[in-house]
Amino acid sequence: MVQKGSDLHNFALERLKERGVSLEEIAELVFDLQKPYLSEITMDLCLENVKAVLRKREVQNTILTGVELDVLCEKGLLSSPLQEIIKEDEGLYGIDEILALSIVNVYGSIGFTNYGYLDKTKPKVIARLDDHKNTQETHTFLDDIVGAIAAAAASRLAHDNPEISDVMK
């Protein structure tokens, strides 16, 4: 049976939690991204925007899909060669980034800049997730998803504060 919207929302939040990612950590990325543009920014404001992003069905669908692939890979349940490609987080695969873009897409062009920046610099929680290559864990999809949620939340915040949107264009 197809899940109701509220169920999907709860599943997505539960998935993030199970995989060891807190909303506060994502909010921290948003804070760091927007601090230079908005002096009165607070962690609460960032958290509020992360939560708003997570209420979008497109975002929930992406979380469920990406995390499922990470988990199946962790259990060795994917077929070869996809199993090895995702396990090794092969640089040329690229579908993890493409999937995460479906989150960034929801909030327009400012999100793309932030997403690219986070993907390149890999701060904080993203570094931790990206550092899975020599462990049993697989976060090939989740690191990009977390970056995309932060980028989307930052761009949502910028849209609410036009003075930020102007400098970031």
**Rounded CA separation 36/34 (Å):** 6
Per CB under 5 A, 96 contacts Mg ion? yes
Of 34 and 140, the one with the shorter C-beta distance to Mg ion is 140
Q: Which two tokens stand for residue 128?
A: 């931790």
Whole-number minimum distance, CB 143 to Mg ion, in Å? Answer: 5
Residue listed under structure tokens 């469920």 = 64
In the complex, minimum distance from the CB of residue 156 to Mg ion, in angstroms, rounded to a whole number: 23
First to last CA, the chain: 43
CA dist., res. 83 & res. 160, Å (int): 42
Query: Of the listed pieces 49-57, 58-66, 74-82, 96-104, which binds Mg ion according to CB under 5 A?
Result: 96-104
In angstroms, how far is CA 109 from the centroid of its own chain? 16
Question: Which residues 122-161 are close enough to bind Mg ion by CB under 5 A?
Answer: 140, 143-144
Closer residue to Mg ion in complex, CB, 28/144? 144
- In the bound state with Mg ion, the residue whose beta carbon lies nearer, of 140 and 155, is 140
Alpha-carbon torsion 159, 99, 72, 90, what sign?
Answer: negative
The sign one gets for the Cα dihedral 61, 65, 70, 72 is positive
Interaction of residue 70 with Mg ion, rule CB under 5 A:
no
CB of 122 to Mg ion, least distance (A): 10
Hey, what are 145's tokens? 């998803």
Whose Cβ is closer to Mg ion: residue 120's or residue 169's?
120
Which residue number has the CB closest to Mg ion?
96
Binding site for Mg ion (CB under 5 A): 96, 140, 143-144
